[in-house]
């Protein structure tokens, strides 16, 4: 007979629950069927639900490899999942909702993704073949609107189509030695940002409708999501990098004006011609500050790659200058905006262009070096 207390399961699946007594039995049964070929444990983390979910879950442990954690001092989906991670014995960790919106039959597909080398395998609504059952257009738009800031603010979530999925597996070593402290319910974001996986796969699935019970996620959770994003964006480092980039830009402005005065007043150059070297030199100082400060962690050795970055930075800056002019013209002449405001808008647009081009091109992370 197979022992359910296997000391070393390969997969630990965490189920956060709050008032899921109508679903937890079916969930355990379907998980067990779908994972028949695997040695796994199911860890239910219940926040002392008034409907008796925890007692019911405990009674399931005579039939299935179920363990139950009851928290009485804390509430919250993501923090419940973290409590489950801490007790997990498997090398692969997973998260699934109790309400069957995440079909348990899909777990083996995620398992294969990890077995084939992924650090994280996400059940994804937004890759080709993925779908959502029963959602109105309005809900879909809200969901996509909610994931966009995660894509932009977090380098770790940039290429992920469904970073807000609540159904995924990953290798435990990713989070060993890091403190997970999510606020709210987006546990995958926390794993992506702090675990820094190099290989992520997204596998399409259909997010089902909830059959029984009701969703626990309220408007307060939307606020928590924003707080969580804000906190993660500092951790992730992209905002810090952007601020450094702006400081360097401002220094370049200082260099440009200072040199212009020097060339005209001291060297006696023509006021128009003096503009040329002062502008070019400020691009050079900007490059050096960015190379040795803003992007120092992304430098690759060798004078050739250093020169290549210089050339790329130069090109980006020149195009940025063109964008600045173009936006200024559009704002001023076409939209009729006050000229100072027009220039502020133009600088903002050009700065975003410069920043993202340099992040994604000049100092891009080489995929081969990531692994
Ligand atoms: N322990 C615990 N504590 N569990 C909770 C809590 C809580 O405070 N709140 C919710 N849960 C459990 C639910 O019992 C369920 O198993 C799971 O977390 C998801 O909660 P739902 O209330 O069903 O959330 P949802 O369907 O609106 O959101 C789901 O889909 C989102 C994608 O649209 C979740 O999977 C989200 O993580 C996911 O982003
Ligand atoms: Mn749900």
Distance CA 234, CA 53 (A): 37
Which atom of ligand 1 lies nearest, measured to the CA of 80?
1
Tokens 């179920």, located at residue: 66
> What span, in angstroms and rounded, lies between the C-alpha atoms of 95 and 42?
10
Q: Which of 219, 43, 188, 59 is nearest to 126 (CA)?
A: 188
Of 6-15, 159-168, 225-234, 278-287, give the lowest mean pLDDT range: 6-15
CA 254 to centroid of ligand 2, rounded, Å: 54
Supply the residue whose CA is at minimum distance from atom 24 of ligand 1.
215
Per-residue pLDDT tens over the stretch 113-125: 999 999 999 999 9
pLDDT, one tens digit per residue, over 140-198 is 999 999 999 999 999 899 899 999 999 999 999 999 999 999 998 999 999 999 999 99
The residue whose CB lies within 8 Å of the most ligand 1 atoms, and thus the one to mutate among 70, 78, 97, is: 97
Across 68-88, average pLDDT: 96
Looking at residue 216, what is its pLDDT?
80
Give the burial class of 89: count Cβ atoms within 10 A of its Cβ; 0-12 exposed, 13-18 middle, 19 or more buried.
middle
- 234 Cα: distance to centroid of ligand 1 (angstroms): 25
- What pLDDT is recorded for position 17? 98
CA–CA separation, 17 and 80 (whole Å):
8
Quick check: 308 and 291 in contact, CB under 8 A?
no
Distance 108 CA to ligand 1 centre (A): 21
Query: 55 in helix, strand or coil?
Result: helix
Q: How confident is the model at residue 209 (pLDDT cuts 50, 70, 90)?
A: very high
pLDDT at 1 over 60: no
Q: Which of 169-173, 211-215, 272-276, 347-351 has the least mean pLDDT? A: 211-215
Q: Whose CA is nearest to atom 21 of ligand 1?
A: 215
Distance 101 CA to ligand 1 centre (A): 10
Give the DSSP H/E element, type plus range, for residue 11: strand 11-17
Q: What is the mean pLDDT of the chain?
A: 94
State which residues have CB under 5 angstroms from ligand 2, the bound ion: 99, 101
| Nearest ligand by distance to the CA of 146 | 1
Check pLDDT > 90 for residue 369: no
Per-residue pLDDT at 290 exceeds 90: yes
Question: Which one is predicted more confidently, 66 or 136?
Answer: 66
Predicted confidence (pLDDT) at residue 3 exceeds the cutoff of 50: no
26 alpha carbon – ligand 2 mean position (Å)? 15
Q: Atom of ligand 1 at shortest distance to CA of 101?
A: 26
Calculate what percentage of the chain has a pLDDT beyond 70. Answer: 97
Is 248 a residue whose pLDDT tops 70? yes
Mean pLDDT of 131-138: 92
Q: What's the whole-model pTM score?
A: 0.83
Ligand 1, residue 81: give the atom nearest the CA.
1
Ligand 1: atom nearest CA of 18 is 14
**What 3-state DSSP class applies to 211?**
coil
pLDDT at 7 over 80: no
CA of 53 to the centre of ligand 1 (A): 14
Ligand 1 surroundings by CB, under 6 angstroms: 16-18, 20, 45-47, 75-77, 80, 97-99, 101, 164, 166, 185, 215-217
Confidence of residue 64 (pLDDT cuts 50, 70, 90): very high
Q: Whose CA is nearest to atom 32 of ligand 1?
A: 165
Which residue lies with its CA nearest to atom 33 of ligand 1?
Answer: 165
pLDDT range class, residue 2, cuts 50, 70, 90? very low
Q: What contacts 120, CB < 8 A, 6 or more positions away? A: 114, 168, 169, 170, 171, 174, 191, 192, 195, 197, 199, 200, 201
Report the nearest-CA residue for atom 29 of ligand 1: 166
């Amino acid at each position: 007979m197979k022992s359910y207390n296997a000391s070393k399961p390969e997969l630990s699946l965490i189920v956060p629950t709050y008032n899921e007594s109508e679903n937890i039995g079916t969930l355990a049964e379907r998980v067990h069927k779908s994972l028949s070929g695997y040695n796994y444990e199911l860890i239910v983390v219940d926040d002392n639900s008034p409907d008796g979910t925890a007692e019911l879950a405990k009674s399931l442990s005579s039939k299935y490899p179920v363990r139950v954690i009851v928290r009485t001092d804390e509430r919250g989906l993501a923090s419940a999942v973290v409590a489950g991670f801490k007790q997990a014995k498997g090398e692969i960790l997973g998260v699934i909702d109790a309400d069957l919106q995440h079909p348990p039959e899909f777990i083996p597909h995620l398992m294969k993704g990890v077995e084939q080398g992924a650090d994280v395998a996400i059940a994804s609504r937004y890759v080709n073949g993925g779908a959502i059952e029963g959602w109105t257009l309005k809900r879909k738009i809200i969901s996509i609107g909610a994931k966009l800031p995660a894509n932009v603010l977090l380098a770790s979530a940039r290429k992920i189509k469904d970073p807000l999925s609540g159904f995924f597996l990953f290798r435990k070593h990713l989070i060993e030695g890091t403190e997970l402290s999510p606020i709210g319910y987006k546990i995958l974001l926390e794993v992506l940002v702090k675990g820094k996986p190099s290989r992520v796969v997204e596998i399409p699935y259909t997010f089902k409708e909830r059959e029984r019970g009701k969703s626990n996620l309220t408007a307060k959770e939307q606020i928590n999501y924003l707080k969580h994003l804000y906190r993660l964006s500092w951790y992730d480092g992209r905002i810090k990098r952007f601020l450094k980039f702006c400081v360097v830009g401002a220094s370049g402005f200082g260099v440009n004006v200072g040199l212009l005065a020097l060339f005209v007043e001291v060297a006696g150059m023509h006021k128009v011609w003096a503009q040329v070297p002062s502008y070019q030199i400020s691009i050079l100082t900007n490059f050096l500050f960015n190379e040795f400060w803003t992007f120092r962690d992304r430098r690759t050795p060798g004078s050739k790659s250093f020169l290549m970055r210089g050339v790329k930075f130069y090109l980006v800056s020149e195009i940025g200058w063109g964008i600045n002019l173009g936006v200024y013209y559009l704002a001023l002449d076409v939209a009729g905006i006050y000229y100072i405001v027009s220039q502020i808008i133009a600088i903002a647009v050009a700065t975003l262009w410069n920043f993202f081009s340099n992040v994604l091109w000049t100092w891009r992370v080489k995929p081969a070096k990531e692994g």
